[in-house]
Each structure stands twice: as structure tokens, then as C-alpha cells.
């Protein structure tokens, strides 16, 4: 997974996040409040600045556009940006507002109090003009655009509408982390990323369940004209609603230390992944992994690419073969993860009705040709069409459970067509394996795999081993 050639234009409320760490040793004699003995102060980019930091941490390049006041916090913010090699500053000075600074006092791992310096006033005419000019100056080199709205005045209707029009005219995807309940100003955006509460307010509808979230998102999408909505659901994971339907991914159980900035990580990763050619569904899985990394850290955190790859691997293990049958979308996402990790992917298919040594030999051979092996099973109706109405002996769920338990198999998926051609075309394996009772030219999907640079390999058969033979012997006994 390489984002090093991608540039994301980030526009929004830029902030200085300050964390003052100390220890509580006593209660003040002046008032019933704790006294914090200070140890250290850490400062980092917040708001849209944290979005840019995540993009840089993931290996991309960010152009950071926002308003910065003429004050000490603004000077410190500029210093931090200047030290980031993968963030290009396009920070605009303003005399109308202070630099947004959030100071958090932390004792141990517990945040005790937060002090905010900010103005939530709408941007002035001069500020809007400067923001639009900065956007126009940098849009040509952008592979994606992010609007990060924290409700502090920068992401107003005029700036957003101009930016979306400019980006879409160039075929550049636009992502919005919203604050307002009126999503109509985001018309034309590629994807909006509200949390569940924000989704409920915008839709004026319940969002307690996945089906309610999907219904609320569809209503808003039809009303305001956006391509997709990704709803972040805290410990419940994420739900993406697009033209193809609703797609959800759960979060992995973990110890959560701080959710500060998790939404920034989600939108940064989502934008990079889509700009890099992945579908929104695939990008959602990557963004979910990145969010899982940052919530296990204290403070406004970022995820680097190695951490995301490790988390994706952990998710693969959690939802691996023991869980049984994968959907086609899930299998495609898994193949993308494997390829991003540098693994070659193999594919074989069949009814696998009654598993026997010949099958095991085939699977062992197939796994030896690749790093990860997907086995595709004909569904029950497909088996019946191929083998007759008395088959299968074992239903799909049972066959999948047995297949998933085989140590050579990394994932199991099903197909309902008479051939796996559509599935092979979707997964596009590096190696396609079939038994030697076929010729290379006769293997379904072989031409597709070879045209993409892959291989078709034939496995030697174990003599006298077949499901049909086993059933015949059972009937004769």
C-alpha cells in the first residue's frame, strides 16, 4: 500500500492541540479542585491539521489550508507545520479571529479539564475570498480534496460549493467531515463522513440500528445529491451507504485510550485509498483499521502505514477461515489487503461435497503455488444443476465450515453461477489452480488470469479418489 505519489488538499478549521501532562497529588485548599503538578507539555496539529498529519503519516502529501491568527498559538502552529516535510502549508493570516487552541490537562491517562481559545464566527468576506483563492491555487495538483468542518467558521457554504465544483470539474473526489445539520451545502461531494449522531440530526430520523442508518443515509443522499455517506459508529464500526447498497464493517475489540482525532484519521485514510484507486468499500476497511490504531493511543494521534497493515492482518485473523463463508465483497476486500501486504493470491474452486484425500492433495498443491489461497464453492443450487437433484450431500454452510478448517485454506467464498468466471474476474487471482483432468486452455477464467499477468497451474490427481465414487460405495454397502 503506497500513497507516496498522492496529494490531498485539506481545507478547514486548523487548530493547535496542546496537552499538558502532570500528576494529581492533592486537593487545592482554595477550592474543591485537584492540583496538577505539571511535568511536560506536548503540542501538535489539530482539526484539519490532524487530517493533514494523518495523510503525512500514511505516506501521502497534504496541502493544508486554514486561517491562523496573529498570536503565539499561531506562531507555534506554523512552526509545527514547517517541521512536517510532507505537509505543504497554505495557512492564511487573519486579524479577525484568534488561532484555535485547545489545551487539555491530563493526569496519568485521564483528561481532567480542557480550555479552548477560539472564535466560531462565520468567515468574513475577505477570509472567504482568501480561502477560495488558496483552493484554486492548489486544486490542480490534488488527487483528492477534504473539507474538515469543526464549526469554527472556515467551512462555509461559499467555500465548500466552490471547492466541490472546482474538484469535480477536474475529476477529483471530494470528502467532507460535516458539522452542520444541513448537508445540502455538500451537494456533489463524493462522500460525507458523519458520526451516527450527526447522521441522525441531518436526516431527522432514528439511527440506532444498521438498517435505520442505511435508511437515513439514503434519504439524505437523495435529497442533497451526494455519492455516498460513511457513518462512523464508534465501537460498532462503520456503515457505508452508496448506490450499491449498505456495507458495514465491525470494529475490532481493543482497549480504547482516546478517541480524539479518530474521525480525522478515517477521512484522511478514506481519501488516500480512493485517490489510490480503491473502491469506497475497500477504502472503508482500510480506514476502519487506521481508526482502530489511533483509538488505542493517548491524545490526538496518527497512524502510520506499518501500523495500518498490522491492524489489517489482525482483522484478517479475527475474521479468518474459522468464521466460514465470506461474501463476495468481503473476499474482494481481503484480496486487496493481501496484495497490499505483498502476498500472492491463489484460487481454486469446486463442489467439495464430501472432502477426501484427493481434495486435500489439491488444496496442499494449490497453497504451495501462492501465499494466500481462496477456495470457491459452488452453492447448493449450482451443485444440483451440475451433479443432479440428489446432490449436494452436504449443504453449503457445512461444506464451507469443513473447508475453512483445512490448514491450506485462507478464505472460503461461494458462487451461484454454473462457472466461477464472474468471481475470478472480481478477485483476479495471481494463480488459478485446477486438477489435471482439465487442460490449461479449458480452465474457466484462465484466459482472464493470464491476460492480467497471472498463471494457470494444473494439479496431479490422486487416482481412485472422487466424491461420486465414495457415494457409489456407500450405496453398494
- Positions marked active-site: 264
88: which 3 cell numbers? Answer: 505543504
Between CA 402 and CA 394 the distance in angstroms is 10
Contact assessment for residue 358 and residue 466, using Cβ atoms and an 8 Å cutoff: yes
Between CA 342 and CA 370 the distance in angstroms is 11
Strands, E, within 400-466: which ranges?
411-415, 431-435, 455-459
Q: What is the DSSP string of 325-358?
A: EEPHHHHHHHHHHHHHTT--EEEEEE---S--HH
Residue partners of 396: CB distance under 8 A and separation at least 6: 325, 377, 379, 380, 414
Q: How many CB atoms lie within 10 A of CB 243?
A: 9
Between CA 91 and CA 45 the distance in angstroms is 13
Upstream peptide bond of 76 is cis (omega within 30 degrees of 0): no
Three-state DSSP class for residue 264: helix
CA separation (Å) from 262 to 43, 178, 287, 376? 17, 14, 10, 36
The total number of residues shown for the chain amounts to 477
Comparing CA positions, the residue from 283, 302, 305, 277 lying closest to residue 291 is: 302
Q: What is the DSSP string of 139-184?
A: GGG-SEEEEE--SSSSS-HHHHHHHHHHHHHTT--EEEE--SS-GG
- Using a CB cutoff of 8 Å and minimum separation of 24, what contacts does 436-444 make? 436/460, 436/461, 437/461, 444/419, 444/420
Strands, E, within 203-298: which ranges?
228-232, 238-242, 245-249
Task: Write down the number of H helices and E strands in the chain.
Answer: 16, 19
Comparing CA positions, the residue from 181, 186, 101 lying closest to residue 145 is: 186
CA separation (Å) from 450 to 39, 433, 444, 445, 447? 62, 12, 11, 9, 5
CA separation (Å) from 188 to 12, 172, 195, 276, 282? 18, 11, 20, 20, 21
Between CA 48 and CA 54 the distance in angstroms is 10
Amino acid at each position: 500500500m503506497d500513497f507516496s505519489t498522492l496529494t490531498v488538499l485539506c481545507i478547514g478549521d486548523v487548530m493547535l492541540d496542546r496537552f499538558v501532562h502532570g500528576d494529581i497529588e492533592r486537593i487545592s485548599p482554595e477550592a474543591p479542585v485537584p492540583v496538577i503538578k505539571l511535568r511536560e507539555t506536548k503540542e501538535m496539529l489539530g482539526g484539519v491539521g490532524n487530517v493533514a498529519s494523518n495523510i503525512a503519516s500514511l505516506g501521502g502529501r497534504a496541502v493544508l489550508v486554514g486561517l491562523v491568527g496573529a498570536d503565539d498559538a499561531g506562531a507555534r502552529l506554523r512552526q509545527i507545520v514547517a517541521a512536517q516535510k510532507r505537509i505543504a502549508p497554505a495557512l492564511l493570516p487573519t486579524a479577525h479571529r484568534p488561532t484555535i487552541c485547545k489545551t487539555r490537562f491530563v493526569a496519568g491517562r485521564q483528561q481532567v479539564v480542557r480550555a479552548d481559545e477560539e472564535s466560531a464566527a462565520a468567515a468574513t468576506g475577505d477570509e472567504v475570498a482568501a480561502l477560495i483563492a488558496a483552493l484554486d491555487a492548489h486544486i490542480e495538483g490534488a488527487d483528492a480534496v477534504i473539507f474538515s468542518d469543526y464549526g469554527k467558521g472556515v467551512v462555509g457554504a461559499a467555500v465548500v460549493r466552490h471547492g466541490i465544483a472546482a474538484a469535480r470539474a477536474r475529476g477529483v473526489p471530494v470528502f467532507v467531515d460535516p458539522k452542520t445539520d444541513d448537508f445540502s451545502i455538500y451537494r456533489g461531494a463524493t462522500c460525507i463522513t458523519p458520526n451516527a449522531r450527526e447522521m441522525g440530526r441531518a436526516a431527522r430520523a432514528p439511527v440506532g440500528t444498521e438498517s435505520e442508518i442505511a435508511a437515513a443515509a439514503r434519504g439524505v443522499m437523495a435529497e442533497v445529491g451526494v455519492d455516498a455517506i460513511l457513518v462512523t459508529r464508534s465501537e460498532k464500526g462503520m456503515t457505508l451507504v452508496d448506490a450499491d447498497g449498505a456495507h458495514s464493517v465491525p470494529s475490532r475489540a481493543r482497549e480504547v485510550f482516546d478517541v480524539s482525532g479518530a474521525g480525522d484519521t478515517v477521512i484522511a485514510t478514506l481519501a488516500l485509498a480512493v485517490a489510490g484507486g480503491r473502491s469506497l468499500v475497500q477504502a472503508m476497511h482500510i480506514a476502519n483499521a487506521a481508526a482502530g490504531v489511533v483509538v488505542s493511543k493517548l491524545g490526538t494521534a496518527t497512524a502510520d502505514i506499518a501500523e495500518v497493515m498490522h491492524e489489517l492482518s489482525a482483522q484478517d485473523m479475527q475474521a479468518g477461515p474459522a468464521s466460514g463463508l465470506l461474501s463476495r465483497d468481503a473476499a474482494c476486500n481481503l484480496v486487496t489487503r493481501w496484495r497490499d501486504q505483498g502476498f500472492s493470491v491463489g484460487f481454486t474452486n469446486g463442489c467439495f461435497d464430501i472432502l477426501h484425500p484427493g481434495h486435500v492433495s489439491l488444496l496442499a498443491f494449490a497453497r504451495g503455488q501462492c501465499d494466500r489461497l481462496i477456495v470457491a464453492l459452488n452453492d447448493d443450487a449450482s451443485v444440483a444443476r451440475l451433479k443432479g437433484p440428489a446432490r449436494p450431500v452436504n449443504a453449503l454452510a457445512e461444506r464451507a465450515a469443513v473447508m475453512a478448517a483445512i490448514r491450506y485454506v485462507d478464505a472460503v467464498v461461494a458462487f451461484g453461477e454454473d462457472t466461477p468466471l464472474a468471481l475470478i474476474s472480481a478477485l483476479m487471482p495471481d494463480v488459478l489452480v485446477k486438477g489435471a483432468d482439465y487442460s490449461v486452455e479449458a480452465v474457466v477464467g484462465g484466459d482472464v488470469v493470464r491476460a492480467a499477468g497471472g498463471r494457470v497451474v494444473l494439479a496431479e490427481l490422486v487416482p481412485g479418489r472422487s466424491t461420486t465414487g465414495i457415494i457409489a460405495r456407500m450405496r453398494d454397502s
